[in-house]
Chain A
Amino acid sequence: MTISDAAPIVSTRFSLEDGHTLDRYLATGGYEGLKAALAKSPTAVGDEVKAATLLGRGGAGFPAGTKWGFCPPGVWPRYLVVNGDESEPGTYKDRLLMEKDPHQLIEGVLIACYAIGAAQAFLYVRGEMALAQERIAQALNDAYAAGYIGKDILGSEYSVDIVLHWGAGAYIVGEETALIESLEGNRGMPRLKPPFFPAAKGLYLQPTVVNNVETLANLPWIMTNGATAFTSLGTEKAPGTRLFAVSGHVKNPGVFEVEYGVTTFRDLIYAPVYCGGIRDGNELKAFIPGGGSAPWFLPEHVDMPLDPSVVSPGGSMLGSGAIVVMDDTTDMVRACWRLVRFYARESCGKCTPCREGTSWLEKILTRLLAGEGRRGDLDLLLDVVDNISPAPFPRGASEAGGFGAVPFPYKKTTICDLGPSVGSPIVSALLHFRDEFEAYISDDVPVDVRVGQPTEVAGV
């Protein structure tokens, strides 16, 4: 096993009782990254972040520096929107960053706005996270009073406002264009890309950078220690560290900051310093490597490193840094149903394949679980998925199944990725555990055909 001894970057204050206060933040190197940034030109800061290859931590893993560069020149104002809507099943890291170290996030926002030329930032926190909202509000108030935010920051010409905004309960608002709609006061429904790439036409149709909380939390460290120190951690294509929440059937679930690419799934699941193995001496049956939307992996995949350039061709994604572990007591049909129900509940309803498809899938699985499954149901499930995400659907290789991997990402007939995400639990569970589904099907169940009396329609 490889246990990296690299010092953490973003979680250094997690164990402090008062890591969220300005005093403790300043006593532990706080706002030094901002000062380092202000000593450089905005372009130089942008170049440094580009050189660091800071991959987005929100799900898609796009390099932040490159994304910033997509804002069209000469179009003002520009905005920064912070995505703190964390709600992907299994994901727990942005809330920790907001509750335990809000100033680190604020400092990251200040560095990003300076480089991008954003004159106003909106920090969108998930509605259900009351403590995170309180901690950020307090941190913003203190940072304003101390001159770190607002007009002429630290005596420079740099001025920016950070406005705390919060949601009201809707998973889809985590999708960046839905987040923008929500911030404009509308129903949180995604916009079509193109033309509505936020960098070009975002908030109020102005150039807008949307970044995840963890992405931005890395910036103070990068400014203080430099891109070279950052790229010396992790791998060439995925430098630095990342927070992973490991939940489910492990002995010690937890959130761990580990080096990209160096650490493997096996390390996280089995090493005593991380999760210490499967609970009750049970066997690993399957795991979800990157949040509810990611295709599942099998025990034969545990030696993959936590590196997107291995996991994506391997058929899944690191997504939001959420690893959900299932042991051999797990009913895969039920696990699949629970995730499918999530997508059915959270579909925003804008596109037909997703709106109708997700709820059909849920209904089919519900009847299967009720012991009323029909022979054709398994093909029907795959057929509905195919209408949302045309085959071949991404999957991990399987020795027992005798098939290879289909690389990530999925194709889609929908506006956003919520639709195709529903295929992950279905295709994964059906491919690898088809016999469990078949056990729910009984040939004896008669198809329920009710021939009603012809309805009398008034006036006919």
Chain B
Amino acid sequence: MARFTADRTILAREIIGRYPRPKSALIPLLHLAQEQDGYVAQDAMEHIAELVDVTPAEVLGTCSFYEMFKLEPVGEYLVNVCTNISCMLLGGEELLHHVEGKLGIKSGSTTPDGTFTIEDVECIAACTEAPCLQVNYRYFYKVTPEAADALIDDLRHGRRAHEVPKHGILARTRQQLPQDKRAGNAVPGIAEEPVWLRTAEA
């Protein structure tokens, strides 16, 4: 799949316009691609390269550094179980193994029907709520084996769709930067001393 749709191309251009240099928009645009297709497709990277005026190899270079970008399709639901120290102390590894058993797959793989992918992840900043996990980056705290089973059953039957959007959709609220309200980009080599400093000194 796929280059950006026409609407997304407009949005992509708008996002690029928020930065003094276009390449800064690379990560947000990769998220936009993953939101569209559920993963970052080759064509999308080529389209991004055109939009920010770098080579496709540079886009891949950045993309491949970051854990969240998937270069191949993953499950509709990405179940990320934290096994770092605070969670490990309270059963994070056991929780991971329980989820693996429930879904019949190992961490790092996807169920044959393409519904679930499991990952064993590092600290997700919910350490006081251990053991915890995320599904498509939505949090679930103090997860018992029974709660994990119920969650997976709910997800499988679409009962959590309002809470957990499909993989790729991150924030459902976007920043709007209305042109008439903007201060404008501070571009290196162009801007001078900010006016409020000048006035204060005078």
Contact = CB atoms under 8 A, between A and B. Distances in A.
Given A128-B137, A345-B122, A90 B62 contact: no
A221 interface: no
26 contacts: A76-B191, A89-B84, A94-B125, A117-B196, A118-B186, A119-B186, A119-B191, A127-B66, A127-B170, A128-B68, A134-B173, A141-B173, A141-B176, A151-B183, A151-B184, A159-B183, A163-B18, A168-B27, A169-B69, A185-B21, A185-B27, A185-B62, A188-B66, A204-B20, A292-B85, A324-B127
A252 B191 CA distance: 52
Interface in A19-47: 41-43
Nearest to A169: B67
A245 B128 contact: yes
A339 B85 contact: yes
B120 to A, nearest CB: 10
Given A94-B125, A130-B171, A335 B199 contact: no
B44 interface: no
Contact of A76 (B123, B194, B196): B194
Interface of B: 18-21, 23-28, 30-31, 52, 54, 61-62, 65-69, 80, 83-86, 88-90, 122-130, 134, 136-139, 170-178, 180-188, 191-197, 199-200
A292 B87 CA distance: 13
A133 B165 CA distance: 15
Contacts of B199: 157
Given A120-B185, A150-B183, A168 B137 contact: no
Contact of B123 (A88, A163, A186): A88
Given A130-B138, A253-B130, A140 B175 contact: yes
A147 B174 CA distance: 18
Interface string A325-354: 010001000110011001001100000000
Contacts of B139: 131
Nearest to A204: B188
Contacts of A109: none
A393 interface: no
A141 B182 CA distance: 12
Interface residues of A, number: 88
Given A90-B86, A131-B138, A158-B194, 16 more contacts: A77-B194, A137-B173, A137-B174, A137-B175, A144-B178, A161-B182, A163-B18, A166-B27, A168-B68, A187-B61, A187-B65, A247-B86, A248-B90, A288-B85, A335-B89, A339-B84
B126 A137 contact: no
Interface in A163-201: 163-171, 182-188
Contacts of A165: 24, 27-28
B190 to A, nearest CB: 8
A149 B182 CA distance: 8
Given A130-B138, A168-B27, A89 B184 contact: no
Given A156-B196, A163-B18, A324-B85, A133 B127 contact: no
A160 interface: yes
Given A159-B183, A168-B69, A169-B67, A246 B128 contact: yes
Given A169-B67, A185-B62, A117 B194 contact: yes
Contacts of A140: 175
Given A168-B27, A169-B67, A247-B128, A90 B85 contact: yes
Nearest to A38: B196
A150 B182 contact: yes
Contacts, number: 238
Overall SS of chain B's interface: loop
B173 A138 contact: yes
Contacts of A297: none
Interface of A: 41-43, 74, 76-79, 86-92, 94-95, 114, 117-120, 126-131, 133-138, 140-141, 144-145, 147, 149-151, 156-161, 163-171, 182-188, 204-206, 245-249, 253-255, 288, 292, 322, 324, 326, 330, 334-335, 338-339, 342, 345-346
Contacts of A248: 85-86, 89-90, 130
A137 B171 CA distance: 9
B20 A120 contact: yes
B65 A188 contact: yes
B27 A182 contact: yes
B186 A346 contact: no
Given A76-B192, A185-B26, A247-B127, A161 B184 contact: yes
Contacts of A90: 84-86, 123, 127
Given A140-B175, A168-B69, A161 B200 contact: no
A150 B175 CA distance: 13
Contacts of B183: 119-120, 150-151, 159-161
Contacts of B62: 185-187
Given A128-B68, A141-B175, A185-B25, A161 B185 contact: yes
A328 B176 CA distance: 52
Contacts of B182: 150-151, 161
B123 A87 contact: yes
A292 B89 CA distance: 13
A170 B85 contact: no
Nearest to A255: B128
Contacts of B25: 185
B30 to A, nearest CB: 7
Given A90-B86, A156-B196, A245-B127, A170 B67 contact: yes
